[in-house]
Amino acid sequence: MKQVISSENRPIKMWLDDIEENALLQAKNLANLPFVHKHVALMPDAHSGYGMPIGGVLATRGVIIPNAVGVDIGCGMCAMRINLKDADTESLKQIMSRIRKTIPVGFNWHKEAQDEKCMPQIEALPSVVERHYEKATKQLGSLGGGNHFIEIQQGSDGYLWAMIHSGSRNLGKQVADYYNKKAKQLNERWHSAVPASYDLAFLPVETDDAQAYIKEMNYCVDFAFANRKFMMERMKEAFLEVFRGEVAFDALINIAHNYAAWENHFKENVLVHRKGATRARLGELGIIPGSQGTRSYIVEGLGNPESFESCSHGAGRVMGRRQAQRELDLKTEIKKLNDKGIIHGIRHQKDLDEAAGAYKDINTVMANQADLVKIKVELEPLAVVKG
């Protein structure tokens, strides 16, 4: 832990030295909520979000806050070790070409519904999920946009790795928007003590609305995992085609970093909201990606109770998307990747929103959370597909 802010009703425990002004204001809003458990935790990648900082961890008593989970419910990472020591540039290009043909990116999705057996199974679909289920079957196995990516990496363990960052696509957004709107309406009707300007409308857990949200949220978490698994199968197929079947794959590592879950902390059962934060229980494997062009990490949790057994979900932004497009130099950012021999997709100024220069230094981020995780494998990028 780097510092503690004690000026609010509850402490703010921070694993970073500096934080942007708006993110700190949002953290103070969290610390002044009447149902906060113990303190607010900010991971080393923390930056401004909508209502709650991304990279924030909030434990609550008796309420759930849709906006403290966010719109991309279940967004997370999966990674898989491949029993190959290396791959030449031509093979990597062939693999990435096959991936682009089988995995839609950005706003694109499949024209036809994918295998429904790969969708999360449940006795009865929740109402919002049910309304958007048919579209979700076509978005299964699609990457999405923003900071989502597919990457092939060289591990410090001597093997190649495949990594995917993606979420619940439009399904999670529909659930999040619906229940956040409902929470805002109810909070206004109740004359809630939580100011509307906080954008942290809540639902008491004993209410039907809260129970419905939790059910729908959990389905979206499962759908996001199913989405990543589906894409990882397409990656496997690409490797098998290029290397003519002479390749095997280790078990999948999967983590989510946008969700809320019941957990026991400081001897009390509470709802832990992680918005851009990863669970890091003692001995638990996790994934912390860097920016495009910098290394990522397979880590093992240390179970630090002060962070609610959490760690960062990535490097964290230092520039907004439009700011990066305005201020970063295209030639410089391309050169950074080319000098490392990384196969990438930065071609135009608009692509700079996901350039390495838009993100924090991953080395500093990892150093700041040495008490939260220990590094198992370092992963250097070889080829990247961005959403």
Active site residues: 313
Q: What is the DSSP string of 79-129?
A: EEEES-S---HHHHHHHHHHHHHHS--TT---SS---GGGSPP-SS--HHH
Residue type, 45: D
3-state secondary structure of 143: coil
Distance (Å, whole) CA 357 – CA 359: 5
Distance (Å, whole) CA 311 – CA 314: 9
- Closest to 186 in 3D by CA, of 163, 210, 156: 210
Burial (Cβ within 10 Å: 0-12, 13-18, ≥19) of residue 326: exposed
Cα dihedral: 36, 308, 50, 202 (round 10): -40
Distance (Å, whole) CA 129 – CA 20: 36
